Structure formats: structure tokens, C-alpha cells
Amino acid sequence: MMHIKAGYEIAYECPGPTPMLLVLSIHPSRSGDLVTPHQITFDREVVPFDYIDGFGNVCTRIILPPGRTTIRTDFVIADSGATDAIVPDARQHDITELPNDALVFLLGSRYCETDRLSNTAWSLFAGTPPGWARVQAICDYVNAHIKFGYEHASATAGAWDSYTNRKGVCRDYAHLAIAFCRCMNIPARYCTGYLGDIGVPRVDPMDFSAWFEAYLGGKWHTFDARNNIPRIGRILMARGRDATDVALSTSFGPTTLTTFNIQPDEVTAASWRPASVR
């Protein structure tokens, strides 16, 4: 068992009152692991309203006042310390066997253009063994095909762009791998959350991370085409068809991002417990 301290400080500037939708809370499936409260705070007069969306994510509705508003959270969460599971015998299901709620994750979506990538996917992966080995082959290909760089980040690039331009950030790796999986009749869904540099060389600056889950052997399994190795300490925030469903913020008016700091670090109990309970 280990403890991870995570949080963020994000600031927006807007010229007038601006409605905004945030997906910045941890996923309800991880709420039982919290050892300190998780609460979104604001440095201005903002009244948040939370609801659960159709994918099971916590979404927060706010209205930003004119000027600069800083949004923060800071929490400690318990984690098993185990790496992502590898289940090589997890089998691929026939379409007729899939549960109804998995079918939407076979369809094309805004950033996962299965119609444009279907022929490519079958030419690349038809010869791979179905199941876990096929998804891993997809991750291996995407990891080698795309060159990572923060300067390549684009809010409009989809899987087709990542395939043709061969560059991107973690969301682009996830989108291309998801699109290939769906083309090969494997349900795949986009995930966003915290992933600190635990057990690997430290990389700065930290950012939220994107990975994906594939439905094999009757359950959803974690895959990460960007890192392509089992990692420690993922903290899930949200799942969806692609980045459209789990955008960190969606503003309904002009806004400018002015601060973006993310923290996910392993900590000892002595560093976060109040002195009275040490």
C-alpha cells in the first residue's frame, strides 16, 4: 500500500460571467480510497454544482465571474502500489457476446474515426492473435508510430491526424489505439486522470494523462499506448468515448487559460497527517 498526494492549480481569465463545465474530480470508483477529502475550491465567489454524467463521471457546473479565477484541489489517496495488470489469456469476445453498454465503445466518435482507419487497421492487425495479444500489438504499433512532444498538442487533431502526421501527445496515442481496437471489433474507451512518475525516471512538467481500457475476457483492462509499460499509481478521473466526453473544462464563452499546474507524487504518512495524529 502507498499514498499519493495529487491535485492541481488551474486559472482562467474571462471578460464576463462565463458558464463552464469541469471534469476535474476523481472518478467515483476511487472515492473509497481517499484518505483526505477531495474538494474543488475557488479563489472567487463561485457556486459549484456536481452531477453524474451518462458515463458515470463527476461533472461540475460553475459560472466564472469576470477576471481571473483560480481553481484548486489537493488530496491524498491510497493506492495498492501494484502495476497495471497483464492478462495475456484475456480473450476477445464475439460481437454477439458483448454486453449492451459496451457496444457504444465499438462506434466511431469525434476523435476516433473508425471509418477512415478501418482498412488500415485490418491490414495491420488481422494477422495478430485475437484478444490481449491483438490489443498489445496495437499499443506497440501506436507507441512506435507517433513521436511524442508537448508542442504537438492540438485540440482538433483526431486519430486520423495522428496516424498520418505521426506526432502528438498522450491523448493522441490513446485516440489512435482506441480507433484501431474498435476497427478490430474490440470495445475501447478513453480514460483521463493522474499518472505520476512513480517507479520511472521523473519527467517535468507534470500533466494530466490519457490512457484507454479495452473490453476483453468479460471485463475492462487498462492499456497505455503512450508509455506502453505497466505503470504504478493511476488515479482515474473520467471515462468516455474520447476526449470530447471527458474534457477537463468546457467553457460557454471566451476564456483564457493562464495557469496549469498538476501534482501527483508518492508521499509518506508523516508528510500529510496532521501533527495531532502522527
pLDDT digits (tens, 9 = 90+) for 116-142: 999 999 999 999 999 999 999 999 999
The whole-number average pLDDT for the span 16-20 is 97
55-93 per-position pLDDT tens digit:
999 999 999 999 999 999 999 999 999 999 999 999 999
24-44 per-position pLDDT tens digit:
999 999 999 999 999 999 999
d(CA 189, CA 111): 12
Assign a CATH topology to domain 2-81+247-270.
Answer: Immunoglobulin-like (2.60.40)
Asked whether residue 278 carries a pLDDT value surpassing 50, the answer given is no
H-run or E-run covering 22: strand 18-22
The whole-number average pLDDT for the span 100-104 is 97
Residue 188, Cβ density class (10 Å: 0-12 exposed, 13-18 middle, ≥19 buried): buried
* AA identity, residue 261: N
pLDDT at 123: 98
pLDDT at 241: 98
pLDDT at 76: 96
Q: Is the peptide bond before 37 cis (omega within 30 degrees of 0)?
A: no
The whole-number average pLDDT for the span 174-191 is 98
SS3 277: helix
Q: How far is CA 239 from CA 76, 257, 259, in A?
A: 21, 23, 24
Strand partners, 188: 214
Q: How confident is the model at residue 273 (pLDDT cuts 50, 70, 90)?
A: low
224-257 per-position pLDDT tens digit:
999 999 999 999 999 999 999 999 999 999 999 9
Asked whether residue 266 carries a pLDDT value surpassing 70, the answer given is yes
d(CA 37, CA 142): 37
End-to-end CA distance of the chain: 18
Residue indicated by cell numbers 493511476: 234
Domain boundaries, given as residue ranges, for the chain? 2-81+247-270, 95-231
DSSP-assigned states of every residue in 60-112: EEEEEPSEEEEEEEEEEEEE--PBPP--TTPPPPPGGGS-GGGGGGGS-BTTB
Asked whether residue 268 carries a pLDDT value surpassing 90, the answer given is no
Strand partners, 8: 73, 262
Asked whether residue 277 carries a pLDDT value surpassing 70, the answer given is no
d(CA 162, CA 167): 6
d(CA 147, CA 129): 26
Asked whether residue 275 carries a pLDDT value surpassing 90, the answer given is no
CATH number listed for the domain at residues 95-231: 3.10.620.30
